[in-house]
Amino acid sequence: MRTLTFFNHAGGAAKTSLALNVGHALSRGGYRVLLVDLDPQANLSTWLGHSLVPDAQTAFDTAVNSEARLPVPQHVHGMDLIPSNLHLALSEGQMMAQEGSTLNLRYALEELQHQYDVVLVDSPPSLGKLAVMAALAADQLIVPVPTRAKGLNGLPGVLAALNTYRRLRPDLRVGLFVPTLYDSRNSHDRDVLEALRRQLQPLAAPLSYRPATWNDSAGTGEPILVYAPNSPAATEVRGLADEIAQTAGLSRGVTHG
């Protein structure tokens, strides 16, 4: 089992949409996929039709109790999901009083080693305790970076956080940086992408800015490969899933049919 956390302390980087759609592409490729929503905004959960869930269905107990197991997941679109809710934010206060609590998710996932091939964690856009717990649970971080000045300027913060987390997990690394929201028509986007290529390795192929497809997919509660399987966005999702499978050391790619 490989655990990958989609991580960026800034919002609007496309963490949630990548976690959901890469997870779905991998599940269609035959992988057993678990999604863990650790963002109290619960956008991943809402997208998949699991909004306003009770605390017992979330990772709340795991976050605040080192002995707690993860709850029985929900099953949706061929994947398992541990959803989130707004109350999950309250766990951070309790975590601060407990030494080592940021490793709770990592330990809880160890019990699922034989149930899943890959776990994808959607981290909150912050550097709080939940984000730390999401990062420390990972074998690798997947870092989406918008091809905007904001994305480029936020990189030092991401890398500084990674260096801090390595004090507890010296083996933690970025498996892949993913340029997102890329619009090849704009010279600014092209310039930022070139800067990312100079600064970051390994760097995935960029995901294009396609707001209609992505927003409509979210509105219908469907992954891209269900909502628009023959679209350019779906082709990019399959390609990214293949790149992530390769960098994570998974045994095969995804189904392109």
Q: Tens digits of per-residue pLDDT, 29-71?
A: 999 999 999 999 999 999 999 989 999 999 999 999 999 999 9
Q: Return mean pLDDT, the chain.
A: 94
Is residue 144 within 8 Å of 14, Cβ to Cβ?
A: yes
- Give the DSSP letter of residue 223: -
Question: What was the pLDDT predicted at 256?
Answer: 52
Furthest CA-CA distance within the chain? 52
Section 166-177 average pLDDT = 94
- Crossing angle for the helix pair 149-165 and 129-136, to the nearest 10 degrees: 70
Question: What was the pLDDT predicted at 64?
Answer: 95
Asked if pLDDT for residue 196 goes beyond 50, the answer is yes
Q: Which helix (H) or strand (E) holds 5?
A: strand 2-6
Q: In what order do the strands lie in the sheet with 74-76?
A: 74-76, 79-82, 33-37, 118-122, 2-6, 140-146, 174-180
Asked if pLDDT for residue 180 goes beyond 60, the answer is yes
Question: What was the pLDDT predicted at 257?
Answer: 44
Question: What was the pLDDT predicted at 186?
Answer: 95
What residues form DSSP beta bridges with 33? 118
Comparing 193 with 11, the larger pLDDT belongs to: 193
Asked if pLDDT for residue 255 goes beyond 80, the answer is no
Question: What was the pLDDT predicted at 127?
Answer: 87
- What global pTM score does this model have? 0.95
Contact residues for 217 (Cβ-Cβ < 8 A; gap 6+): 223, 224, 227, 228, 233
97 — pLDDT class (breaks 50, 70, 90): confident
**Beta-strand relationship, 74-76 and 79-82:** antiparallel
Contact residues for 132 (Cβ-Cβ < 8 A; gap 6+): 102, 165
Is residue 178 within 8 Å of 27, Cβ to Cβ?
A: no
Asked if pLDDT for residue 146 goes beyond 70, the answer is yes
> What is the distance between the alpha carbons of residues 32 and 167, in angstroms, rounded to a whole number?
31
Locate 255 and state its tokens. 């189904």
Question: What was the pLDDT predicted at 208?
Answer: 95
Is residue 35 within 8 Å of 23, Cβ to Cβ?
A: yes
Read off the amino acid at residue 95: M
Section 184-198 average pLDDT = 95
Asked if pLDDT for residue 252 goes beyond 90, the answer is no
- Residue 98 phi, psi dihedral angles, 5° rounding: -120, 115
> What is the distance between the alpha carbons of residues 197 and 195, in angstroms, rounded to a whole number?
5
CB atoms within 10 A of CB 154: 18
98 — pLDDT class (breaks 50, 70, 90): confident
**If we measure between CA atoms, which residue out of 175, 194, 174, 176 comes closest to residue 184?**
194
Question: What was the pLDDT predicted at 76?
Answer: 97
pLDDT in tens, 125-135: 998 999 999 99
Is residue 14 within 8 Å of 125, Cβ to Cβ?
A: no
